[in-house]
Amino acid sequence: MTEIVHRTFPFDVDAFLAEANECRLATNGPTVRPMWYQWEDAAFWVITGPHAKLFGRIQKDPKVSLVVDVYELDAGRVLQVMATGEVEITAYDVDRARRMLIRYLGPDESKWSTTPDYYPGYLRDGGPPGAVWLKLKPKKVLSFNFSYGLDFNSLNT
C-alpha cells in the first residue's frame, strides 16, 4: 500500500496526479527526463522501449526518483508530488496507453498529432515495436503544497 505523506497543507494527491501534468523521471547517471505518465492503482506508469536510453538505464539499475509539479504563479497554485523506488518492466498495455494519451491529447484521436511522434501508433498492433511499461509503485509518496492566495479547502475536494 502506498502511504501519502503531506509535508505541508494537504491536498487531493489522486486528483492532482489525474491531471495532464508531466513528470520528471531521474535514473542513474544521473539523468532526468520529462515524461508523460499514468497514475493508476497507486502506481506511476511510463512508456519506454529499446528505442530509448531510459530502457537500457532501467535494465542496469531500476532505482528511480520521480516528481510531478505545477507552478501556476498567476493563480498561486504550487503543488509537488515526489516518489522514489524501483521500477518494474511490464508488458505493454494498449488500453492503458489509450487512457494516458486521452489525458494528454484529448478524446478525439483524429486530432492527435502524427509528427514528430506518431501517437496513433501507440494504440495499434500492440503499440510501438518493443514498447513496455515501467511501473513505479512507491511505498511512500511525498506531497508539498506551497500555494498562496487560494482557498485551501478547494484543494482538498
pLDDT in tens, 26-78: 988 778 999 999 999 999 999 999 989 999 999 999 999 999 999 998 999 99
Supply the pTM of this predicted model.
0.87
Percent of the chain with pLDDT over 90: 70
- Give yes or no for residue 103 having a pLDDT over 50: yes
pLDDT of residue 157: 47
Q: Domain map of the chain by residue range?
A: 3-148
DSSP annotation string for the chain: -PEEEESSS---HHHHHTS---EEEEETTTEEEEE--EEETTEEEEEE-TTSHHHHHHHH--EEEEEEEEEETTTTEEEEEEEEEEEEEEE--HHHHHHHHHHHH-S-GGGS--SSS-GGGGGSTTSSTT-EEEEE--SEEEEEE---SS-GGGGG-
Q: How does residue 153 score in pLDDT terms, banded at 50, 70 and 90?
A: low
Lowest mean pLDDT among 99-103, 148-152, 153-157: 153-157
- We find that the CATH architecture of domain 3-148 is Roll (2.30)
